Amino acid sequence: MIWIKDPLHGDIEFSEEAARILDHPSMQRLRRISQTGYCNLLYPSANHNRFEHSLGTYHLTKRACDYLDLDEESRRKVSLLGLVHDVGHPCFSHTLEPVLEDFLNKDHEDVMEEKIKKIEDDTGVILTEEIGPEKSIVKGDLGTDRMDYLLRDSFYTGVGHQSIDVDRLLRTMKLKNGKIVFERKALSVVEAMLLTRFLMYPSVYLHRLPTVAEKMVEKMVRQEIEEGFMDVHDLVEWDEFDLVNELRDQNHRLMERIDERRLFKRAFQKRVREFSNWKKLVQLDGTEISDVESKIAERTGLKWDQVYLLIPNPWSSDLEVFFEFDNEVKNISEVSTLSSMLKKAQWDYCLVSLLCPEDKREEVKKEGKKVLKEI
8 A C-beta contact, residue 140 and residue 320? yes
8 A C-beta contact, residue 307 and residue 296? yes
8 A C-beta contact, residue 56 and residue 8? yes
Torsion on CA atoms 18, 19, 23, 27, rounded to nearest 10: 30
Query: Does 225 map to a domain?
Result: no
Query: Does 145 map to a domain?
Result: yes
pLDDT by residue (tens digit) across 239-270? 999 999 999 998 789 999 999 999 999 999 99
Query: Does 220 map to a domain?
Result: no
pLDDT by residue (tens digit) across 75-129? 999 999 999 999 999 999 889 999 999 999 998 889 999 999 999 999 999 998 8
User: In a 10 Å sphere around its CB, with 0-12 CB exposed, 13-18 middle and 19+ buried, how is residue 325 labelled?
Assistant: middle
Structural domain count of the chain: 1
Query: Does 108 map to a domain?
Result: yes
Domain region containing 25: 2-207
pLDDT by residue (tens digit) across 266-307? 999 999 999 999 999 999 988 899 999 999 999 999 999 999
The 8-class DSSP code of residue 179 comes to: E
Query: Does 229 map to a domain?
Result: no
Query: Does 256 map to a domain?
Result: no
C-alpha span between 158 and 43 (Å, rounded): 8
Query: Does 281 map to a domain?
Result: no
> Which is nearest to 18 in space by CA: 27, 30, 29?
27
C-alpha span between 21 and 28 (Å, rounded): 9
Phi–psi pair at 179, nearest 5 degrees: -130, 150
CATH of the domain at 75: 1.10.3210.10
Using pLDDT thresholds of 50, 70 and 90, give the confidence band for residue 161. low
* Average predicted confidence (pLDDT) for the chain: 93
For residue 60, how far is the Cα from the chain centroid?
19
Amino acid at 208: R
Query: Does 341 map to a domain?
Result: no
